[in-house]
């Protein structure tokens, strides 16, 4: 029976307390048992964008440092910290800004940028949508793989935890493919192709509301761990106050017999779910901020979705939001302006370059806020 541990620490734990929390959470699910003398351990944090932890966006460097220490204590000969950030955030920069590079190197690990690493094509067993995925070679070939997500809401998937965090082991062009073919199915396929030995959730500062990048930090002071990522996500959903059957990729995993959504067959150890749970504010799933704005979106990455939200936030701060009427934004690699629209749409992003003559085109992957605001002002004048 898969075990999932929940460990609650003191308020605002320091590095020593975090090491104790991580150690206990991991020990409760069997420890770093698979680590043999001299083997390679790869850790996969969440550094979707270059922000320092504390706001619930990126994995706390102290959690990474604790896991490096546990891996070395267990006999690892090499520890890697592997990540490929999201669009609009070069991975090398995200490693710096998040503080993960410093934590990794001080702890005795090497950082690996997925976007600069060799790739390996891995077959997906019993695929839902992708028969093969391209994955960072150094992550895939590590003897022990450890997934280290942050607990966050997600404006497309409702929640991002263990399964969704694995998207960081694929390079950026493949991330775009995931959005094009259907993110939930692609996430399940990726997890089947690249199983991890252990998942350790950083919920010291989690995120609610407009996740995965623009939500509000929630101090939870919790670390969770599990050897089965599907079970961990089922328990994690309940800790966040969601029903697992609301999460599309978990439903698909259950349909494939990978997990039970009602939690049967999962042993929760440490803190009970009810004692740890909190009702996380849900993310708004609709991108349009008000009437008079239509967003035609199909397969858009989180980066462009986040840009749209932050552009409207900027416009609101500038006192211009109320002046926008009849704006249509087309975004995402599969989106198309409908025929007979009767107005010039804003066509957004590099993946829609083939439509650049169909409206006011804004280049970028994602486009920057200033260029978007310039185009919106032009279309609204």
Please write down the HEC assignment for all residues of 301-356. CHHHHHHHHHHHHHHHHCCCHHHCCCEEEEECCCCCCCCCCCCCCEEECHHHHHHH
- Residue 1 Cβ, how far from ligand SF4 at the closest point, in Å? 40
Residues that bind ligand SF4 (CB under 6 A): 87, 176, 300-301, 303-304, 331-333, 349-351, 365-366
Residue 301 C-beta: closest distance to ligand SF4, Å: 3
Q: Closer to ligand SF4 at the Cβ: 270 or 299?
A: 299
> Which is nearer to ligand SF4, 242 or 312 (by Cβ)?
312
Q: How far is the CB of 293 from ligand SF4 (least distance, A)?
A: 18
Least distance between ligand SF4 and beta carbon 172 (Å): 8
Q: Tell me whether strands 132-136 and 119-123 are parallel, antiparallel or unpaired.
A: antiparallel
Closest CB to ligand SF4 among residues 156, 227: 156
CB of 333 to ligand SF4, least distance (A): 6
Tokens representing 92?
């090398």
285 vs 318, which CB is nearer to ligand SF4? 285
Q: Assess contact for 349 and 195: CB atoms under 8 A.
A: no
Q: How far is the CB of 334 from ligand SF4 (least distance, A)?
A: 10
Return d(Cα 368, Cα 311) in angstroms, integer. 9
Residue of 353, 357, 373 whose CA lies nearest to 381: 373
Distance CA 190, CA 122 (A): 9
- Give the nearer residue to ligand SF4 in terms of CB position, either 124 or 362: 362
Tokens of residue 369, six digits: 């806020």
d(CA 292, CA 278): 35
Of 168 and 349, nearer to ligand SF4 (C-beta) is: 349
């Amino acid at each position: 029976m898969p075990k999932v541990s929940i460990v609650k620490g003191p308020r605002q734990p320091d590095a020593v307390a975090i090491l104790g929390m991580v150690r206990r959470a991991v020990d409760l699910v069997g420890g770093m048992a698979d680590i043999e003398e001299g083997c390679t351990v790869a850790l996969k944090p969440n550094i979707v964008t270059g922000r320092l932890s504390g706001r619930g966006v990126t994995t706390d460097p102290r959690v990474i440092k604790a896991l490096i220490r546990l891996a070395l204590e267990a006999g690892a000969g090499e520890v890697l910290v592997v990540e490929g950030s999201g669009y609009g955030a070069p991975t090398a920069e995200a490693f710096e800004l998040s503080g993960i590079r410093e934590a990794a190197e001080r702890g005795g690990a090497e950082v690996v940028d997925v976007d600069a690493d060799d790739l390996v094509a891995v077959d997906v067993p019993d695929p839902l949508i992708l028969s093969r995925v391209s994955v960072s070679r150094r992550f895939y070939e590590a003897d022990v793989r450890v997934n280290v997500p942050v607990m966050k809401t997600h404006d497309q998937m409702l929640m991002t935890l263990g399964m969704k965090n694995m998207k960081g082991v694929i390079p950026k062009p493949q991330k775009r493919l995931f959005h094009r073919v259907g993110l939930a199915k692609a996430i399940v396929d990726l997890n089947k192709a690249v199983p991890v030995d252990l998942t350790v959730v950083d919920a010291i500062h989690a995120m609610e509301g407009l996740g995965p990048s623009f939500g509000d930090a929630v101090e939870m002071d919790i670390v969770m761990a599990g050897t089965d990522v599907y079970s961990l996500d089922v328990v994690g959903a309940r800790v966040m106050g969601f029903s697992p059957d609301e999460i599309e990729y978990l439903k698909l995993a259950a349909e494939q017999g990978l997990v039970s959504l009602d939690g049967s067959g999962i042993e929760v150890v440490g803190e009970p779910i009810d004692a740890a749970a909190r009702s996380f504010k849900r993310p708004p799933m609709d991108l349009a901020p008000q009437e008079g704005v239509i967003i035609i979106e199909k397969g858009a990455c989180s980066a462009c979705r986040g840009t749209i939200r932050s552009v409207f936030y900027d416009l609101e701060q500038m006192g211009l939001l109320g002046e926008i009427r009849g704006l249509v934004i087309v975004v995402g690699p599969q989106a198309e302006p409908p025929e007979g629209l009767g107005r010039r749409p804003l066509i957004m992003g590099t993946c829609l370059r083939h439509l650049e003559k169909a409206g006011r085109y804004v280049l970028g992957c994602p486009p920057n806020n200033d260029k978007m605001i310039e185009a919106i002002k032009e279309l609204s004048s």
